Amino acid sequence: MPDSNPFDPKEGLRAPDLFPWETDMTATAPSGALAPAITRRTDSYLVPIVNGKGGVGKTMLTLALAAHTVKANGRALVWDADPQASSYDLTSVMDSPGYEVVHELDPDHAERIRGMRHIDTIFGDCPGSLEGADILSRIVRQASFVLIPYDHEPESVLPTLRTARRVAELGVPYAVVVTKANPQVGADHVLDAWDTLDRQSIPHFRSFVRLYRAWPNSLKAGVPITRWNERHAPRLREDVAAVHTELLLNIGRVHRGGRARHGAHA
Ligand SMILES: Nc1ncnc2c1ncn2[C@@H]1O[C@H](COP(=O)(O)OP(=O)(O)O)[C@@H](O)[C@H]1O
Ligand SMILES: [Mg+2]
């Protein structure tokens, strides 16, 4: 990654500096079932993580899924398409994240990024703001599967439903994932969230992510959640692993040879 100021969002726009792995094929996970030089037979999966509402856990889910992919000896790239560059900044200060990160606001780069067959999954941390609406739909259109994190807070309901409708209109398979589920209120938070989604016929995963201080603490310490040592960190890892498995199962159901089957849904 560029060693000039990582906090300058414009850093991400100089394409030649951004793709060092095109010459260095060992850039992502250090080991794996496949040697890094062996390329996929399909394009990388592109999984944008979107919600018009901020604070629902987009960045959390993006970084955690990328770290989990690496732990499973997969090769992950975080594409930070948010002008705020949180994913990029947080990863830049992380101790050996094991995945690549690129801050790139231009959705026209999507096709090129997807064509990188030595990456297994590209997780896209997408802008939550309205000014990012055009970027968002252009990224979503090219997605393998879209994840919509949802924290089931009152102010998140309408933006989440709107986001889901927009993604559905673009004809891309998607599902909502409940995030920040408070373990102290038992299953109610999650069940109530699912009920809200079911009423609107919005598909959602059965797996969800619980709310634990271990998440912000791991970020503060600059350690990927996969290696963070704190009382509830294993529970967070368990949740992320379940979401990741459910994601791959869903991608497997809707894709054949790397392309979405027409009309397929979560
Ligand atoms: N599962 C979780 N447990 C605890 N805190 C969380 C969790 N998910 C997100 N957070 C916290 O909530 C805030 C918003 O999350 P973030 O991922 O930045 O949302 P977004 O990218 O949608 O704006 C952050 O402070 C983050 O640390
Ligand atoms: Mg964010």
Atom of ligand 1 nearest to the CA of 53: 22
Please tell me the predicted confidence (pLDDT) of residue 160: 96
For residue 152, the CA-to-ligand 2 centroid distance in Å is 17
Please tell me the predicted confidence (pLDDT) of residue 6: 42
Please tell me the predicted confidence (pLDDT) of residue 108: 79
For 65-90, what is the mean pLDDT?
Answer: 95
Atom of ligand 1 nearest to the CA of 51: 22
Please tell me the predicted confidence (pLDDT) of residue 130: 52
For residue 41, the CA-to-ligand 2 centroid distance in Å is 31
Inform me whether the pLDDT recorded for 17 exceeds 60: no
Chain center to CA of 4: 25
**Protein residue closest via CA to atom 26 of ligand 1:** 216
The more confident residue out of 78 and 3 is 78
Please tell me the predicted confidence (pLDDT) of residue 114: 78
For 19-23, what is the mean pLDDT?
Answer: 39
Q: Is the CB of 144 under 6 A from ligand 1?
A: no
DSSP secondary structure letters along the chain: ---S-TT-GGGGG-HHHH-GGGT-TTSS-S--SS-TTSPPSSPPEEEEE--SSTTSSHHHHHHHHHHHHHHTT--EEEEE--TT-HHHHHHHTSS--SSEEEE---GGGHHHHHT-TT-SEEEEE---SGGGHHHHHHHHTT-S-EEEEE---HHHHHHHHHHHHHHHHTT--EEEEE-SB-GGGTTHHHHHHHHHHHHTT--B-S---B--THHHHHHHHT--GGG--STTHHHHHHHHHHHHHHHHHHHHHHEETTEEPTT---
Atom of ligand 1 nearest to the CA of 179: 1
- Rounded to an integer, what distance in angstroms lies between the CA atom of residue 226 and that of residue 151? 22
Atom of ligand 1 nearest to the CA of 209: 1
Inform me whether the pLDDT recorded for 76 exceeds 70: yes
**Protein residue closest via CA to atom 14 of ligand 1:** 55
For residue 24, the CA-to-ligand 2 centroid distance in Å is 29
Please tell me the predicted confidence (pLDDT) of residue 86: 96
Comparing C-alpha atoms, which of 100, 110, 129 is closest to residue 172? 110
**Topology (CATH level 3) of domain 43-259:** Rossmann fold (3.40.50)
Please tell me the predicted confidence (pLDDT) of residue 263: 43
Atom of ligand 1 nearest to the CA of 63: 17
- pLDDT tens digit sequence for 90-145: 999 998 999 999 998 888 777 777 777 789 999 999 988 655 677 788 889 989 99
Inform me whether the pLDDT recorded for 21 exceeds 90: no
CB distance 126 to 81 below 8 Å:
yes
Closest ligand, as measured to the CA of 63: 1
Task: Give me the percent of the chain exceeding a pLDDT of 90.
Answer: 65
Inform me whether the pLDDT recorded for 237 exceeds 50: yes
**Protein residue closest via CA to atom 3 of ligand 1:** 211
- pLDDT tens digit sequence for 165-214: 999 999 999 999 999 999 998 899 999 999 999 999 999 999 999 999 99
pLDDT confidence band for 260 (50 / 70 / 90): low
pLDDT confidence band for 9 (50 / 70 / 90): very low
Closest ligand, as measured to the CA of 160: 1
CA atoms within 13 A on the CB side of 1: 25
Q: Is the CB of 114 under 6 A from ligand 1?
A: no
Query: What is the pLDDT of the chain when averaged over all its residues?
Result: 84
Closest ligand, as measured to the CA of 50: 1
For residue 4, the CA-to-ligand 2 centroid distance in Å is 22
Please tell me the predicted confidence (pLDDT) of residue 22: 39
Please tell me the predicted confidence (pLDDT) of residue 107: 80
**Protein residue closest via CA to atom 13 of ligand 1:** 55
Please tell me the predicted confidence (pLDDT) of residue 232: 96
Q: Is the CB of 211 under 6 A from ligand 1?
A: yes
Model confidence, pTM? 0.85
